[in-house]
Structure 1
Amino acid sequence: MSSGHSDHADDTATAPQLPQSAPMSETAHQSSIGAMPLVSTKEKDSTRKIEKQSLEYALRSGIAGGLAGCAAKTVVAPLDRVKILFQASNPQFAKYTGSWSGLAHAIRDINRHEGARGLYKGHSVTLLRIFPYAAIKFLAYEQIRAVLIPSSEHETPLRRLISGSLAGVTSVCFTYPLELMRVRMAFETSHSHRSGLLDIMRQIYHERAAPTPRSAAATESSTVAAVEGAASTVNKIAPRTGLINFYRGFAPTILGMLPYAGISFLTHDTVGDFFRHPSLAPYTLKRAVDGDIDPRKAELNKNRPLLNAPFELLAGALAGLASQTSSYPIEVIRRRMQVGGAVGDGHRLGIAETGRKIWLECGFRGFWVGLTIGYIKVVPMYAVAFFVYERVKGSLRIG
């Protein structure tokens, strides 16, 4: 027994001792960890620059544009309803046009007969249309701008104007039928038949264009008779019902969109550049101390830093004022053409014919009816649209 214990003790005593490293100090341990380049995938993604002409950038800019459009239209939906009634010369609201108080009286009249929901009549179609419309417009602007203005050396007002105009035309081509349905729903009042979206679609589809009436004076002129004969032939060939009805007023829409979208983007970018001037930057730029701007993200946006809220809203408001003024007469003609199937004899009027009719009815003022509401509307609408767009772009890391 004793020998067993002694043998075990000897083994323990004679066992070779392995060298032990000295314990690492806490400071050295922390410094070794700090020296390791630990960068998470999320952080890498947040600092990754997305190329403008990539599919990812296009999708993100489209989402930002769609959300911006929906937010802006929701803010001004009641004003938009009244403006359409004024522009299209709705008989029940003609008495309210031409004065500042007319806007308040029209809103009160709608609220009395249709309730608060009446102020948002047609807004569901507006949202259905505005998301793809705004998404395509902002997406197209970013992509067209990247082609026409690949660097700061190519930055000119003309290129900005062309980029905005082409973006507006592109978006209209894809979403015009929804715009027409929205106008038709907004044009109806409680005193007329109230229609749902499907009713409006069926009504527009089955509308038949009346033949152009031939005046007595036209029969006395062989030249005019020949022109009207050619027009009659075209009317016989062209379909008078069906899908073509969803493009009433399409030509003046395109004509008006060229200055409308072009000048809005041109003005916004030009005013934004002015506000970003080094002498104004301390007062106009969004600061990192807000807590929501990572310096690494700011580095990605160093070519176009974000404006703070008041100046971003102001830039958008000025863009709306400029674009509205430049295109308003064409917009009035477009509205009259869009509701042509809902009033009168259903005759499809052209741009010149509609303009002549407005001139005979109201004179020069007829082309500017509802402009007061237009100004009141575009200030918050464009301010909200550009503000939301720029902020969502920043959140999606494509600012």
Structure 2
Amino acid sequence: MSPNVSTARRDKQSFHYIIRSGLAGGIAGCVAKTVVAPLDRVKILFQASNPDYRKYAGSLRGAFCAGVQIYREGGVRGLFQGHSATLLRIFPYAAIKFMAYDQVHHMLMPTRAQETNARRFLAGAISGTMSVCVTYPLDVIRVRMAFQTKSPSQYGISGSPTFTQVLKHIYNEPTQPTPTLRVGSVPVMNTKNLLDRFPILKFYRGFSVTIAGMIPYAGVSFLSWGFLRARFLPPDKAGHRPPTPIADLAIGAVSGLLAQTASYPFEVIRRRMQVGGITRPDRWLRLDETVRAIWQCGGWRGFYVGLAIGYLKIVPMTAVSFAVWQGTKRLLDV
């Protein structure tokens, strides 16, 4: 290993570098989420098939009408309902994701000669999975907050729910007995017993499908980001790329579009499972029955409901996220 590579490795694995890298990622995530917060709320209502907004799903015009209805009923605050939980989740999520990507990227690809598309995908998938594992309960809480509309009493929460109210509501959700699973002839604890013993698991509804969806989403996102930057922003003789905010925005937008297309069905399934405690409070929704319910309701198109608004949200969000991440890293000398 050359002295330059060795020095770079030490620098990128230093405590100060990791903290600044995480700070840059957290700031980028918060700015990007704030930009698209109203679109995010509309998309969640569509994905989770909220009965008050189901009639609007399926078109950009419907998304606009849904936004207008939200504004009429709750004003600007209604458009940003659940955003406090979003920021509480997104800062550690984005900080861990971008910080982990920097570290994993450096371990897998310490030099540009070692950069391959497979390694770019793997670095993105690993970083995205790590961030989800740490912050998933916060995502469930903010989805519940965003899902709430004009009929809150049926969910046991009066008025626009606060973070604490939703937290308590999920923790205290009743569970019904389900058939005991068996491995061979050995009985395995059923879902009710498992949730009664470990209530924290209620905050992990849809976690398995989230991980399944995060692998293509983060993998494709960082693969596209790395490939396009290498293709269109070659480094100078000193090995540095010039500051290019416009290029960062454009490349980030394309990366977000490709990643959203690859992972969207997993996201729809995840949203349905996350709000299962509201739509089906009597039982735990399984992955297979959630998939069947979506298919029976809308066929293959059901797995892409809200995709248009998904693009409308994810393209600017990813563009802003990558651009702010790069800009903040330059400011922090990362």
Give the structure-1-normalised TM-score. Answer: 0.76
Which residue identity does 1:254 align to in structure 2?
I
The equivalent residue for 2:241 is 305
Which residue identity does 1:201 align to in structure 2?
L
Q: CA deviation at 1:233?
A: 4.6
1:93 aligned residue (39, 46, 53): 53
1:314 aligned residue (238, 245, 250): 250
Distance 1:266 1:304, change over 3 A: farther
For each residue in 1:267-297, what CA deviation from the matched residue of structure 2 results, as whole angstroms up to 9, or x when unmatched? Answer: 111111122148xx9xxxxxxxxxxxxxxxx
Q: CA deviation at 1:356?
A: 1.1
Which residue identity does 2:88 align to in structure 1?
L
Query: Could you tell me how far apart the structure 1 residues matched to 2:286 and 2:192 are?
Result: 16
1:55 aligns with 2:15: yes
For each residue in 1:322-379, what CA deviation from the matched residue of structure 2 results, as whole angstroms up to 9, or x when unmatched? Answer: 1100000000000000000011243212222211111111111110001011000011
The equivalent residue for 2:95 is 135
1:384 aligns with 2:320: yes
The equivalent residue for 1:33 is none
The equivalent residue for 1:117 is 77
For each residue in 1:119-145, what CA deviation from the matched residue of structure 2 results, as whole angstroms up to 9, or x when unmatched? Answer: 000101111111111000000001111
Secondary structure of the structure 1 residue equivalent to 2:36:
helix
Q: CA deviation at 1:173?
A: 0.8
The equivalent residue for 2:62 is 102
For each residue in 1:207-234, what CA deviation from the matched residue of structure 2 results, as whole angstroms up to 9, or x when unmatched? Answer: 12223489xxxxxxxxxx989x988853
Percentage of matched positions with identical amino acids: 50
Which residue identity does 2:89 align to in structure 1?
R
The equivalent residue for 1:248 is 205
Which residue identity does 1:374 align to in structure 2?
G
The equivalent residue for 1:329 is 265
RMSD across aligned C-alpha pairs, in angstroms?
A: 2.4
The equivalent residue for 2:4 is none
Distance 1:397 1:236, change over 3 A: closer
Query: Could you tell me how far apart the structure 2 residues matched to 1:303 and 1:339 are?
Result: 48
Which residue identity does 1:382 align to in structure 2?
T
Contact in 2 for aligned 1:276/1:307 (Cα 8 Å): no
1:73 aligned residue (10, 30, 33): 33
Query: Could you tell me how far apart the structure 2 residues matched to 1:303 and 1:197 are?
Result: 46
Equivalent residues in 2 for 1:387-398, closer than 5 Å: 387-398=323-334
Secondary structure of the structure 2 residue equivalent to 1:341:
helix
Contact in 2 for aligned 1:114/1:190 (Cα 8 Å): no
Query: Could you tell me how far apart the structure 2 residues matched to 1:209 and 1:272 are?
Result: 49
The equivalent residue for 1:24 is none
Query: Could you tell me how far apart the structure 2 residues matched to 1:151 and 1:195 are?
Result: 49
Contact in 1 for aligned 2:254/2:315 (Cα 8 Å): yes
Query: Could you tell me how far apart the structure 2 residues matched to 1:260 and 1:89 are?
Result: 22
2:169 aligned residue (203, 209, 215): 203
1:359 aligned residue (265, 271, 295): 295
Gaps of 5+ in 1: 1-47, 215-224, 282-298
Secondary structure of the structure 2 residue equivalent to 1:303:
coil
Equivalent residue pairs, number:
320
Contact in 2 for aligned 1:140/1:167 (Cα 8 Å): yes
1:172 aligns with 2:128: no
Whichever of the two has the greater Rg, that structure is: 1
Query: Could you tell me how far apart the structure 2 residues matched to 1:86 and 1:236 are?
Result: 29
